[in-house]
Structure 1
Amino acid sequence: MHQLIVSPHNGAFLVARPGDRAGMQIPRTLYGQLASIAESSGPLPAWLLDGARTAWDLDLTGVPTRDAVLVRPQTRLGYGRATYEINKGCNFNCEHCYLAERKFEGLPWEGKARLLRLLRDAGVLWLQFTGGEPLIDRDFMDAYVLAYRFGMLIEILTNGSRLHRPEVIGMLRELPPHKVTVSLYGATPDSFDSLTRKPGAFKLVEKGLIAAREAGIALDLALIITKHNVHELDAMRALADRYGASRTEYGTISPTYSGAPEPLAAQAPGFLDKTSVFKGCPAGHTFFHVDPHGLATMCKVGRDNPIDLMAEGLDGLLRLPAIADAQMLRTGGCGGCQLSGTCRVCRPLAKAYQEAKAPLNTYCQHGSEEAQ
């Protein structure tokens, strides 16, 4: 299996190593050189040998080029990233979940394999497996291996409940992901199991974190702040540090992507995330989302006018930029807003809040005392 991936990405050319966050950008001429010798049994060019030692402390001296490097071809589509919602089914029942329904259904294995080939041929280098809970899908491991062989840098977004399983850890050790992001819903069984509504959930996730740390897998913890665990925030941060994981904190609870308000009940007062101004998004242009049935949309929230990749193939993606642009138009009460320059919510998400009849102060500055 390849040690390095060489790939076009958003007009540039990258050299990456699976499981490592360091990388190199190279000029087109060096990409062309590698593409011309990709199947060769000869040695790697000296510049790449030196670069591998510098970037990853990796010695590839004497390793045939075809065994060391996977060179991905240029494609007619410029989609460098995608998320694949392999299944909406989940073994947790989180109060804050943005999925209105968690039906365990999707493509059969043959369809999943074809979809992954389409993602590869669309140019996708960075692939996130998500759900639902991806690790409970019966085809997840086969899908992961295939995506890895296609030369994708993989992130797994998981609740961590099955991360401890030997077959999963063994696969990730042999074929390392770019990272595994585990959602953390508390620092104790009481808070964690209360939010997930699954007894024993916290212990399962701890087992997974221990196994991943021992296997040397790159971990990121997504700290989900809710009314059930806000009193444990410092302990959640300490837990991330304990497992050597980077962390990101999420304090804003959104409605379902279809506009149902039930998840908003989990919001912790005073923890609305209003730290950054929305300055545009490449969704639909360089990035897209695919649901369990192969329906492509601009992102997981903006699901209007989905494109059936299984029926239309890659040609369907040619329509996606215009579909995304239409969903970004400020409508439904947002048109002409004098605060739009400092808005912190994208238009598809604002639409979901509006359809949920959420209070303005949960997503819009017009709900603050200053705006009033």
Structure 2
Amino acid sequence: MHALIASPFLEQHVLVRPGSRSGALLPEERYEALRALDAAAPAPAWLTDAVREHWEDLDVTGRPAGDFLLVRQPSTWGYSKASWEVNLGCNYACKHCYLGLKVNSGMPWKDKRRCLDLMAEAGVLWLQVTGGEPTIDKDFLRAYRHAFELGMMLTVSTNGSLLWRENILRLFEECPPYRVTVSLYGATKASYDELTQRPGAWDLFVQGMNAARRARLPLRMSVIVTEDNAHQEAAMIELCRRWGVDHEVYTNMTPTIYGGGEVLTAQSKDHLSMRKQFTGCNAGHTFFHMDPHGLVSICKIGRDEQISLPQEGIGGFARLGAIADRLMLRTGGCSGCKLSGSCTVCRPLAKHFQEAKAPLAAYCQHGREDRVNA
């Protein structure tokens, strides 16, 4: 199994290591030298030096390059990142979940495998594997392993309830993830079980986190603050610190992917934060999202127009950039807005809130008392 990946990344080339946050830029000529290197040939001196500089515990001196190095081929499509909902099913029923209906359905394994192959062909180096809860999917283990073998740096977004399972821990040991992002829904059993609406969820979460910490997985916590657990925000942050795990706090709720506003009742009004000014993004141009049925959209929010990867194949990506440009236009309820130049949400997200009949304060400066006067 490879320990290093040399790959194109946007307009550059990088050397990265699964399970590690470190990486190095590769001059184009050295990337091309690695492409031409025979698998049985030993690592060149400059590569040995670079590995020693960035990863002291990894020694490749004199080793055949094929034993530790995977060289990703260039792609004409230019995508570098993607996210994939393996399924929408979950073993929790969180009140705030933007996925709405927890339908555990998706593609058969042969289509999942083909879609991963097409992602690699499109150039995807960083892949976020999410759900629903991805670890409950019957194909999670082999899908993760196949993506790893294709040379992807993998992030798994999970509730952590199954991280104690030996087959998952063994998989992560053999195929190290770039990151495991675990959502935190409370600092006590009562609050955690209440928000997830699953008795015993806290116990599984703690069991999973204890196992993940013992295995030294590259963890990051997503601290989810809602109306139910807002009083425990400080306690949740303290728990992350006590465990020695990096964290990020999320307070803003969004409608469901079906346009429903019912989950917005979980929003803590005191914790509704003003987003940063939206200055554009490369959704649909350098990254994309794929749902459980292989339908590709520009991102998790902008799902209005989707491309069926199983049906259209790699050629479907040719339409994605134009779809992104159309979805980003300021149309509909935002036409002529005097604050559009300093808007804090993209057009797809604003449309999402509007269709859910969400209060303006949830996404628009016009709904905030402290907004700039129009």
Give the TM-score band, short-chain normalised.
over 0.9
Residue 277 of structure 1: CA displacement?
1.4
Match of 1:173 in 2: 173
Tell me, in whole angstroms, the C-alpha distance in 1 between the residues paired with 2:283 and 2:203. Answer: 36
| 1:84 alignment partner AA | W
Match of 1:104 in 2: 104
- Tell me if the contact between 1:86 and 1:137 (Cα under 8 Å) persists in the aligned partners: yes
Match of 1:221 in 2: 221
Pairs within 5 Å for 1:156-171: 156-171=156-171
1:44 aligns with 2:43: yes
Tell me, in whole angstroms, the C-alpha distance in 2 between the residues paired with 1:272 and 1:64. Answer: 54
Match of 2:354 in 1: 354
Tell me, in whole angstroms, the C-alpha distance in 2 between the residues paired with 1:18 and 1:258. Answer: 35
| 2:174 alignment partner AA | E
Tell me, in whole angstroms, the C-alpha distance in 2 between the residues paired with 1:45 and 1:265. Answer: 59
Tell me, in whole angstroms, the C-alpha distance in 1 between the residues paired with 2:2 and 2:297. Answer: 31
| 2:233 alignment partner AA | L
Match of 2:12 in 1: 12
Tell me, in whole angstroms, the C-alpha distance in 2 between the residues paired with 1:317 and 1:229. Answer: 41
Residue 370 of structure 1: CA displacement?
4.1
| 2:32 alignment partner AA | G
Residue 224 of structure 1: CA displacement?
0.6
Match of 1:259 in 2: 259
Tell me, in whole angstroms, the C-alpha distance in 2 between the residues paired with 1:295 and 1:94. Answer: 25
Match of 1:284 in 2: 284
| 2:330 alignment partner AA | R
For residue 127 of structure 1, give the secondary structure of its aligned residue in structure 2: strand
Match of 1:327 in 2: 327
Number of corresponding residues: 371
Match of 1:136 in 2: 136
Match of 2:271 in 1: 271
Moved more, 49-58 or 138-147: 49-58
Pairs within 5 Å for 1:167-206: 167-206=167-206
Q: Could you list the per-position Cα deviations for residues 106-129 of structure 1 after superposition, in whole angstroms to 9, with x for gaps in the alignment? A: 111111111110111010000010
Residue 275 of structure 1: CA displacement?
4.4
- Tell me if the contact between 1:173 and 1:216 (Cα under 8 Å) persists in the aligned partners: no
Tell me, in whole angstroms, the C-alpha distance in 2 between the residues paired with 1:336 and 1:47. Answer: 57
Cα RMSD of the aligned pairs, angstroms, is 1.1
Residue 243 of structure 1: CA displacement?
2.3
Tell me, in whole angstroms, the C-alpha distance in 1 between the residues paired with 2:240 and 2:228. Answer: 18
Q: Could you list the per-position Cα deviations for residues 249-302 of structure 1 after superposition, in whole angstroms to 9, with x for gaps in the alignment? A: 111011112221111010012211314211111110000000111110001110
- State the TM-score, normalizing by the size of structure 2: 0.97
Q: Could you list the per-position Cα deviations for residues 307-339 of structure 1 after superposition, in whole angstroms to 9, with x for gaps in the alignment? A: 011111111111001101111111222122221
For residue 332 of structure 2, give the secondary structure of its aligned residue in structure 1: coil
Tell me, in whole angstroms, the C-alpha distance in 2 between the residues paired with 1:142 and 1:261. Answer: 35
- Tell me if the contact between 2:275 and 2:345 (Cα under 8 Å) persists in the aligned partners: no
- Tell me if the contact between 2:193 and 2:199 (Cα under 8 Å) persists in the aligned partners: yes
Match of 1:54 in 2: 53
- Tell me if the contact between 1:257 and 1:302 (Cα under 8 Å) persists in the aligned partners: no
For residue 87 of structure 1, give the secondary structure of its aligned residue in structure 2: coil
Moved more, 156-165 or 270-279: 270-279
Match of 1:117 in 2: 117
Q: Could you list the per-position Cα deviations for residues 343-363 of structure 1 after superposition, in whole angstroms to 9, with x for gaps in the alignment? A: 211111111110111111111
Unaligned runs of 5+ in 1: none
Tell me, in whole angstroms, the C-alpha distance in 2 between the residues paired with 1:46 and 1:346. Answer: 47
Match of 1:246 in 2: 246
| 1:323 alignment partner AA | I
Residue 341 of structure 1: CA displacement?
2.4
Match of 2:343 in 1: 343
For residue 270 of structure 1, give the secondary structure of its aligned residue in structure 2: helix
Residue 213 of structure 1: CA displacement?
0.9
| 1:342 alignment partner AA | S
- State the TM-score, normalizing by the size of structure 1: 0.98
- Tell me if the contact between 1:257 and 1:349 (Cα under 8 Å) persists in the aligned partners: no
| 2:258 alignment partner AA | S
For residue 269 of structure 2, give the secondary structure of its aligned residue in structure 1: coil
Q: Could you list the per-position Cα deviations for residues 25-83 of structure 1 after superposition, in whole angstroms to 9, with x for gaps in the alignment? A: 0111000000001x421211111111111111121112210111100000111010011
For residue 348 of structure 1, give the secondary structure of its aligned residue in structure 2: helix
1:3 aligns with 2:7: no
Tell me, in whole angstroms, the C-alpha distance in 2 between the residues paired with 1:48 and 1:179. Answer: 25
| 1:205 alignment partner AA | F
Tell me, in whole angstroms, the C-alpha distance in 1 between the residues paired with 2:211 and 2:167. Answer: 11
Residue 203 of structure 1: CA displacement?
1.2
Moved more, 142-151 or 233-242: 233-242
